[in-house]
Amino acid sequence: MITKKGINASPGVAIGPAFVLDTEEYRIPQRTIDPAQIPAQVRNLDAALAASRQEVAELRAAAARKLGDETAVIFAFHEQFIADPKLRTSVVDAIEQQRHTAAYAFAQIMNQRQRLFRNVPDPYLKERVRDLFDIERRVLRHILGRAREDVARLTDPVIIVAEDITPSQAISLDRRHVLGFAINVGGQTSHMAIIARMLGIPAVVALGDVTADILGGETLIIDGSNGIVIADPDAESLARYQAQQHEYERLTTRLRALRDQPAITRDGVPAQLLANIEVPEEARIAFEFGAEGIGLYRTELLFLSSPRPPTEEQQYEAFRAVMRAAGDHPVIIRTLDLGADKLAPTMGGQHDHNPALGLRSLRYCLLHLDMFKVHLRAILRASVEGDMRIMFPMIATLMELRQAKTTLADVKEDLEEEGIPFRRDVPVGIMIETPAAAMLASIFTREAGFLSIGTNDLTQYTLAVDRANERVAHLYSAHNPAVIRLIHQVIRAARRRDVPVTLCGEMAGTPIYCQLLLGLGLQRLSMAPANIPLIKGVIRSTTMEHCQAIARKVMQFDGDRQVLNYLRDEFRGLDPEDET
Ligand code: PEP
Ligand code: MG
């Protein structure tokens, strides 16, 4: 039994076989072969080893020519490794004795070797693990040839173990067959984590090297609520987690029954709970969870999942589908927020050194006006379907908002000239996710129809902590007094001018923050659909008076630990199941 601790990214317990996804998306299923297939598998292995050796020899010669012998040594190591008869013998043994495919047997043996190298104290040898990955990739490419399998076509329920999952991979995974995620990198608000919560799939991130410890096929337990992963659990742990899984499901079913109940505190103050969605199909799910509207539609996912930018028609169809699913409920469509950890294939290979501070989001759109205008046309055309609002992300200066509004006005003019219907009075709002926008919130309220506080980015920028970097994840906290003060400032500015304000970062769907946010004056929260029942349970079991007392107290704290401990205690005192 191996236990690993990471960061809780999506709650719930999952139990199932591990499925290790390598970074090149190879899917190497554990399949038993017929004895008659053994010679063909061995031939496939030999051909792949020979081809890989040849490639490496060529690389070594080229490296020696261009970069000198020192670099060529790296490839000499690869060549020796591949040519080592012991390597071949171990793989052939696994094929013959365990009747594994050549690909599976090779991947298993390489995994064992990587573990050996990782555990040696010599730093030089430790570093060679990277080379082993490289070798593995190369040989597998030859073994699998064109037969690479697609992760989108999983056939059995599995727990995905991976270095990382890109948002486009995550949405193309067949969610019926994904029970949980165990991921090497990331943090609570990295987009992978957000998508796992959106899909309602338990996930643990920031596990370091979980991909090296898990071979694939063994039983895994994912405790997404506490950030724990257990491989090969003993009978006692298995039984304990099965009971927890059952209890979690019972609680969520119980809370789902609140669907048609209003989100109202015990002393009669109503709140509006909205949903964050990423793909149109999710709108329906959001309303099943009791959402009163869509508070954040992350449109960029459309761009992440295809190699070409979606056409105006494709975008229009997606937006119209969301509007139709929402009926009379409001829908806040956020304009493209590409960049940082959401890189679309169409953005080209240029990478900023500091992507979160680079050419992302609205900045990118304002530099690619043709693409942005197509996007805005599609949004405006869908506006006739219902109560739509448009929101610009990543605003840092008033000038950006003005430029974005001018572009929107240009697009409206074009549509008008072409006689294409759209709603002229669509409200236009902004996300407050940079400290600059938070500090100037009162000024922004003069030009923005509504504000939505994006605490995922606001926390990252306020504390200068990359939200997707597990090495600084311990420094990332939305409950830091600096972040809370900025949130408070924004709410006050909005209320003073009667401008609607929502909070749509992950904080909104996190139960321990709920009383604080209500107490700070927020009445609209937007979150992953699956969190709505629990947050509603919290609201229905507290009073506004108590929430305000909590907020007053929190505003006096000067450290995030203090805030967290206090909020935890306050949350423990509640029973979201017992609100009547
Ligand atoms: C945020 O930054 O809080 C937010 C909601 O936007 P995203 O997570 O998509 O960056
Ligand atoms: Mg953001």
Q: Is residue 443 part of a domain?
A: yes
- Say what the pLDDT of residue 377 is: 98
Please say if 504 is a catalytic residue: yes
Q: Are residues 366 and 472 in the same domain?
A: yes
Q: Are residues 368 and 400 in the same domain?
A: yes
Instruction: Report residues of the chain scoring pLDDT below 70.
Output: 22-27, 29, 66-68, 70-71, 126-127, 145-153, 167-169, 171-172, 305-307, 345-346, 348-350, 576-580
- Say what the pLDDT of residue 168 is: 61
Residue 401: CATH number of its domain? 3.20.20.60
Q: Is residue 356 part of a domain?
A: no
Cα–Cα distance list, 352 to 238, 313, 341, 456, 468 (Å): 45, 31, 11, 20, 15
Strand partners, 223: 13, 228
Q: Are residues 409 and 536 in the same domain?
A: yes
Q: Any idea which ligand is nearest the CA of 468? A: 1
In the reported structure, the alpha carbon of residue 454 is separated from the centroid of ligand 1 by a whole-number distance in angstroms of 5
Ligand 1 atom 9: residue of nearest CA: 298
- 167 Cβ neighbours under 8 A, 6+ residues apart: 191, 192, 195, 278, 301, 304, 341, 342
Q: Is residue 352 part of a domain?
A: no
**Pick the catalytic residue: 504, 514, 546, 547?**
504
Task: Say if residues 166 and 304 touch (Cβ distance below 8 Å).
Answer: yes
> Can you give the pTM of this predicted structure?
0.73
Q: Are residues 402 and 295 in the same domain?
A: yes
Q: Are residues 129 and 208 in the same domain?
A: no
Choose the final residue of a domain: 216, 233, 251. 251
Please say if 514 is a catalytic residue: no
Enter the DSSP assignment of 387. -
Q: Is residue 354 part of a domain?
A: no
Residue 47: CATH number of its domain? 1.10.274.10
Ligand 1 atom 7: residue of nearest CA: 456
Ligand 1 atom 4: residue of nearest CA: 454
Q: Are strands 331-334 and 294-298 parallel, antiparallel or unpaired?
A: parallel
- 500 Cβ neighbours under 8 A, 6+ residues apart: 429, 449, 450, 451, 494, 524
Structural domains of the chain, count:
3
Q: Is residue 351 part of a domain?
A: no
Q: Are residues 52 and 104 in the same domain?
A: yes
Query: What are the pocket residues of ligand 1 if the criterion is a CB atom closer than 6 Å to any ligand atom?
Result: 194, 296, 298, 337, 433, 454-457, 504-505
Q: Is residue 580 part of a domain?
A: no
Q: Are strands 13-21 and 228-231 parallel, antiparallel or unpaired?
A: unpaired
Q: Are residues 433 and 477 in the same domain?
A: yes
Q: Are residues 79 and 166 in the same domain?
A: no
Choose the final residue of a domain: 97, 128, 144. 144
Cα–Cα distance list, 418 to 317, 411, 467 (Å): 19, 11, 43
Choose the final residue of a domain: 144, 170, 196. 144
Domain that holds residue 195: 2-26+150-251
Task: Say if residues 195 and 171 touch (Cβ distance below 8 Å).
Answer: yes
**Pick the catalytic residue: 191, 375, 488, 546?**
191
Enter the DSSP assignment of 382. H
Pairwise CA distance, residues 317 & 92, whole Å = 52
Q: Are residues 247 and 261 in the same domain?
A: no
Q: Is residue 350 part of a domain?
A: no
In 193-343, which ranges are E strands?
A: 203-205, 219-223, 228-231, 272-277, 294-298, 331-334
Q: Is residue 495 part of a domain?
A: yes
Q: Are residues 310 and 423 in the same domain?
A: yes
Q: Are residues 244 and 263 in the same domain?
A: no
Q: Are residues 335 and 382 in the same domain?
A: yes
- Say what the pLDDT of residue 148 is: 40
